[in-house]
């Protein structure tokens, strides 16, 4: 079973920041938080990952709470092309292992 909880769907206005929450209250100390997204008819796309510090790359920012029990993926200026299903995943550090996907959050960007 997936070890994360996400809202099934969210809306965001184009140009605004999209903040996608994820609960991972049972996360272990050796588990990273990963985010992937899947645009319609495409394979999942890696976005970002982190252990305990906040992370930022060209796609998004990842904010992890101090207790690591939840996180937020931030798309700073959402565009219509960001419409996708977003998956929050936890994975063990240093282990090359399968990804267990949950149902994710379906993000709709509204024009």
Partner 1 sequence: GAGVSQSPRYKVAKRGQDVALRCDPISGHVSLFWYQQALGQGPEFLTYFQNEAQLDKSGLPSDRFFAERPEGSVSTLKIQRTQQEDSAVYLCASSSRQGADGNQPQHFGDGTRLSIL
Taking the complex as a whole, the smallest distance from the CB of residue 13 to partner 1 amounts, in Å, to 26
* Chosen residue from 1, 29, 66, 98 binding partner 1 by CB under 8 A: 98
CB-CB contact of 39 with 89 (8 Å): no
Residue of 70, 44, 73, 48 whose CA lies nearest to 58: 48
Interacting positions 18-77 with partner 1 (CB under 8 A): 32, 34, 41-46, 49, 51
Site string for partner 1, 67-96 (x = CB under 8 A): ------------------x-x---xxxxxx
Task: Tell me if residue 81 falls in helix, strand or coil.
Answer: helix
Residues that bind partner 1 (rule: CB under 8 A) add up to a total of 27
Q: Which is nearer to partner 1, 100 or 110 (CB)?
A: 100
What is the widest separation between alpha-carbon atoms in the chain?
41
Pairing of strands 9-13, 105-110: parallel
Number of H helices, E strands in the chain: 0, 9
Residues near partner 1 (CB under 8 A) are 2, 32, 34, 41-46, 49, 51, 85, 87, 91-104
């Amino acid at each position: 079973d997936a070890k994360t909880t996400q809202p099934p769907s969210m809306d965001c206005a184009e140009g605004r920041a999209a903040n996608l929450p994820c609960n991972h209250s049972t996360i272990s100390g050796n588990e990273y938080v990963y985010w992937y997204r899947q645009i319609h008819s495409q394979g999942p796309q890696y976005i970002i990952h982190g252990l305990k510090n906040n992370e930022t790359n060209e796609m998004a920012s990842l904010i992890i709470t101090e207790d690591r029990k939840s996180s937020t993926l931030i798309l700073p200026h959402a565009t219509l092309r960001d419409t996708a299903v977003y998956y929050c995943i936890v994975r063990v550090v240093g282990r090359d292992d399968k990804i267990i996907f949950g149902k994710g959050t379906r993000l709709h960007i509204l024009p």
